[in-house]
Structure formats: C-alpha cells, structure tokens
Structure 1
Amino acid sequence: MASGILNINKPPGMASFAVVSLVRRLTGVRRVGHAGTLDPTADGVLPICLGRATRVVEYLVNAPKTYYAAIRLGSATDTYDSEGTVTATGDPSSVTQEEMEAALAGFVGQIEQIPPMYSALKYEGQPLYRYARAGKTAPRQARTVTIHRLELRRFAPPLVEVELEVGRGAYVRTLAHDLGERLGCHAHLERLTRLRSGPFSLADALGLDELREAAEHGTWRELLYPVDRVLESWYAALLGQQHTRDACRGRLLVLTPVRQELVDLPLDTPCRAYSEEGEFLAILRYRGADRWQPERVFATL
C-alpha cells in the first residue's frame, strides 16, 4: 500500500473532505485523511496523508500554519465570513493605519478566542454549525490560542490584508470578527489563503488537475512526500540492528547520547528513529535516564 503525503492546493468552493474523497478515488488508497480543515471558501495548502502517513496527522495538525487574509471592515456576519448574513454595520472611514497596526499588535501572543457558532466543534455530540443552522445558540468556552505573527500587508479601507502565523485551534474568522469589535466598526473575513502548513508551502503545492493527470498516467506516487517529512525539525537517532529490532517491537530503548545537547533532555521530547539503511522506523519519546519509548512504529521486521 502506498504511503506518503500529498501537498494539495485546495481550490475555493470545495470542502476539505471532498478533497480527501477525490484523492481516495484517484489513488485507490482507502486510508486517507487531511491534516487541518480549510473552510470551503478558503484556498491553499491542504496536506493529505495516505496509508501509514495518516498516523502523523496529529503532528501536522499541531504544526504552525501561515495564512493570507483579506478582512472587510464595516460589517459583521453570523458566520464571521462573507458567506454569512450581516448582523451589524459600522463606519470604518475614521480608522487610521496606525490604529489598525496597534489593534493587530494586540492580538499577537496567547489570546482568548470564543469559537464561532458556524464551526465543526461539538456540543453534546453535535457540531456547532447544526445548532446555528437551526437558529439556536450553544454555549462555547473561550480557548487559549497562539498568534505567532500578525502583519499588515495592505491598508485600503474598507479592505485590509494581513499575513499571520497561528498555532493549533486558532480561527482566523474569529480574529477578523474580534478585530472589527476592537476597532468599533465591525468586520468579517472576506478571503483566506493558507500559505503554509508545517513544512508544506503553497509554492510547492499540487493543483487538483495535476493530480488527476498524474493518476491517469499512473505516476501519482512520485508526488508523495515521505511520512517523516512532517518530523524533520525533531532530533533523529540512527539505530543499530538490535535497537532496530527492539524499536519495531515497541520495546524501551536505552540510547547513549552522542552530543552534549542530548544530555538531560526534557521528558517526552520526540525523536525520529532510523535503521542503519536509512529506513524510517518509529517515533520515540524520551522517558529520562537515556531511555526512549517507541510511540508510533512505522516499520516491520
């Protein structure tokens, strides 16, 4: 079974799950999943994991993501984006670029966000959007999210364009809405493009037509990134034959550090493990005293 990751450029107007279904149909691989939902109206990087690569989805979901967003000042909507019904209006004509930059700076770092009602988060087993579509409101708890970077790229009221890098769970729609409230003129997200997800960038992303053509010619496997591409920022361990066998069996490993920086690592530090032949074997977690526990095993003996 083929395993690896496709860096897909999702077009606007298509749901993330629809891309998963298309990849499954074109490749014939049954185990397929995406690493971080993009709203149907958004476009850009959507990593699609196939086969054993579905086991690294959680690490991609946790990776920082970079977006380019166009925010329209002067009106708020119930969905926080351009697809929704206008719920409030205001006059953005008095907002200066300096005020905008100061407001944006206030969102950088760890902030509290209340998820939008039109989202896939669940309350009592049902997605919030189902309550919203029924005209109901469900209780939502504020969540702490991280905005690593938020920069103004174009100031042309009522439209402003920003580039931002965010951590897991951050809603750009909510940020656009909250920005409008902070400025006192209301706002909503008009366009959103994901520029990067972990190691995958828009510049290298694959269009769906390119994938269809590769599937027709039987060359789509050549487009796969290896499973461990997601983990390249981690430490790596090269294991000998006995340690390789133990890792593949999920046994605790005792590995002598070869560099000073590897002494007294924090507990639960992750590591990639490889055989002497360079085969990606497993994800290890540090348990202290030079001990490493296989967390996910990808190779077989």
Structure 2
Amino acid sequence: MDGILNINKPVGLTSHDVVARVRRLLQQKRVGHAGTLDPLASGVLPVCLGLATRVADYLSESGKAYQAEVMLGVETDTYDREGHIVSTQPVPDLSREQIESVLRSFIGPQLQVPPAYSAVKLQGEPAYRRARAGESLKLEARPVVIERLALLDWQKPRLRLEIECSKGTYIRSLAHDLGQRLGCGAHLSALLRTRSGPLKLQESVTLEELAEALARGDLERYLWPLDIALQHYPALVLDRQTLQRVLHGNSFRAPEPGPRSASPALASGAGEAGPQRGEREGAPLARVCDEQGRTWALAIWVPEKRLWQPTRVFRPEGSS
C-alpha cells in the first residue's frame, strides 16, 4: 500500500508510537512519519506508507500551522510542561497591546536556537540524550521563518497563540524566547498542529477511525497520493518512451526551470533535513509525470549539462 495518512495524533503518544500502531494495524513494514510531534502535542501527523516514505521530507516544505498555549512566569529545562522547573518569576500586568507588540518582533526570517532536549543531532547523537545525561549543551541557531503570530487569548498567566511558520521551527523555543522578551520567562503548556504542508486538521483521521475504516474495507478514503507532497514543484510531462528511460535513472531533456523552481527548504537551509543524495542546495526540482498526470519521479536540474537528472523514482518494487 502506497500513500499518505493524515493522522490526528493524540496527546500522550510519541510520533514513533503512532507509526508503530499504523504498522501493526495495516501489517505493513514501510511506514514512517513526517515532522515529529512531541508527546504533549496533538494534531496533524503525516504518516507515509510504502513508496510515499520517499517523499516524507518534502511534505512540510510549504510550512506548518499551530495553536499554542504558553504559560508565563515559569521556565523549564525542556521549554515545555514536561520538564523540570528552572526558574519562576512574577508575571506583570501586560496589556494585549504590549503582548502583540512583542509578538510582531518575531515575524519574519530569523535565527532560532533549538531546545537542548530536541532531536537535533550532535556528532550523530540526538541532543536530548546528551542533555538527559547531564551534559551542558550549546546548540547552533538555525534559520527559520515565522509568517504569522497572532494572539488568540490572554488570561494571565496564559497566552493562546496562532502560528504559521517554516519547517524546522521549534514552538518550544518560540515560547521560551517570548518569555525572555516579556521579562518573566515562559514555557509551552499545550500545542495543537493544525496544518503540516498541504494536510489540514479538519481532514485528519484518528487512529480509532482508521481502525474502523480498515474493518469496513474503505481505508482508501483516508489515503492521500504521494503526489500531494510534491504539488509545489512544477510538472514535466513526458511521453511513455522518455518516461521509461527516466525510471531506469537516465537523464533527459525537458523545458528548463523557471526562476521559482528551486526548493524553498533546500534554498534557505531552514528545513528539518538537508539536501538528499543527488540534490544540491538550492537546485531546481520538478515532478516527472506521465501524460495522465501521475507522478513517477522527482528530477533535479543540472545546469552544466542542461539536462534533468532523476533523483528519486517512485516505481513499485518488482516492476520493470
């Protein structure tokens, strides 16, 4: 089975837990998720099946959206409610106007330092493992973009925010940094992801609903095609003969890329994963489609040869 499930992850489960449950439910080995959600977070978790696991890192290139609750006056070592309290401070009587003024200062491209308790790799090891071992860590800031940061509610000491941001943005770090700028400290107390790339919360399915659909035999209604992860790339429509050559890894001629063909994540370096093998930072990418519009591969433009080179092929195993 190939495709993408838009799972509504409940609070309390890790992203790995959700993948394990889907794997057992569908009795399928090739299952993976795109964009980790912490256990305290809920909402949209894309789960990729079969060939769709090859597009997981492209799913959230068009960004993510959240609703977050931030508790002012208390800082924790993990920047969320699951951590140990490291400091407490009185919360001033802030007006909505004062808070919104500070929120506006976060809008736009910026450098953000990930939490020490995160999956960011240090010498090949997740930072959270070293932090749990008592090591004092200093993570490098990474470029992110916060496109929207709106105040939904302010009931001292709690803020409710609506956020739209690039992939790679840590909402825990945003909560921590917001507390610093407000002068009283803060941590993330609740998080709901409402969108990941093209997948939205209102179109998501719970694990219970997925199991019921499987029992009824209509699981397909919840399965998105892998193409949905690549719709922001231009399409190169090829004839059958050329397409067969592409599926065997051969380069090909097609219209040259336009000025907006480069991958935003690869160009900015803001993504959760860097360029894949065969992909250079900022290089234009395109979908390779048949005459019926189905996507069969992803190709990269090689300017020195003025050719397109397939970098990922979505051909079912065992096909010729």
Specify if TM > 0.5.
Answer: yes
* 1:276 partner letter: E
SS at match of 1:87: strand
User: 2: CA distance between counterparts of 1:107 and 1:263?
Assistant: 29
Deviations 1:56-83 (A, max 9, x none): 0111243411111011111111111111
Structure 1 partner of 2:289: 274
The C-alpha deviation readout for 1:169-222, integer Å capped at 9, x for no partner, is 211001101101111011111110000000000000001110111222333234
Q: In 1, distance between residues paired with 2:197 and 2:37?
A: 15
Q: Are the structure 2 counterparts of residues 227 and 200 from structure 1 closer, same or farther at C-alpha, using a change threshold of 3 Å?
A: same
Partner Cα separation in structure 2 for residue 265 and residue 91 of structure 1: 50
Which ranges of structure 1 fall in alignment gaps of 5 or more residues? none
Matched residue, 1:29: 28
RMSD: 2.0
- Shifted more, 209-218 versus 63-72: the winner is 209-218
What secondary structure is seen at the aligned counterpart in 2 of 1:13? coil
CA distance 1:291–1:125, shift in 2 (3 Å) = closer
Between 146-155 and 64-73, the greater mean CA deviation after superposition:
146-155
Within 2, Cα distance between the matches of 1:9 and 1:264? 33
CA-CA distance at 1:54 after TM superposition: 0.3
- After TM superposition, the structure 1 stretch with the greater mean CA deviation from structure 2, 49-58 or 111-120, is 111-120
1:134 corresponds to which residue?
A: 133
Is the 1:123–1:138 Cα contact (8 Å) retained in structure 2?
no
- Which residue identity does 1:225 align to in structure 2? W
- SS of residue paired to 2:149: strand
Separation of aligned partners in 2, 1:139 and 1:176: 18
**What is the match of residue 234 of structure 2?**
235
* CA pair 4-42 structure 1, distance change in 2 beyond 3 A: same
The residue type paired with residue 152 of structure 2 is R
Q: What pairs up with 1:119-130 in 2 under 5 angstroms?
A: 119-130=118-129
Partner of 2:86: 87
Give the 5 Å matches for 1:132-171: 132-171=131-170
Tell me whether 9-18 or 108-117 shows the greater mean CA deviation: 108-117
Residue matched to 1:285: 300
The 1:268–1:130 alpha-carbon spacing in structure 2 relative to 1, beyond 3 Å, is: closer
* AA matched with 1:272: R
TM-score, structure 1 normalization: 0.92
Residue aligning to 1:194:
193
Cα distance in 1 for partners of 2:127, 2:254 equals 47
Deviates more, 1:160-169 or 1:37-46: 160-169
Superposed, 1:43-62 pairs within 5 Å as 43-62=42-61
Equivalent position of 1:297 in the other structure:
313
Distance 2:255 2:189 in 1: 53
Runs of 4+ in structure 1 off by over 3 angstroms are: 261-267
CA distance in 2: counterparts of 1:279 and 1:175, whole angstroms = 39
- Residues 239-290 of structure 1 deviation map (CA, whole Å, 9 limit, x = unaligned): 1122111211221111247xxx948966832211211233321112222476
TM-score normalised by length of structure 2: 0.87
Q: Distance in 1 between matches of 2:293 and 2:220?
A: 20
**Which deviations, in whole Å up to 9, do the C-alpha atoms of 1:107-137 show, x marking residues without a partner?**
1112222221211223334322223323332
Deviation at 1:10, TM superposition (A): 0.2
How many residue pairs match? The answer is 297
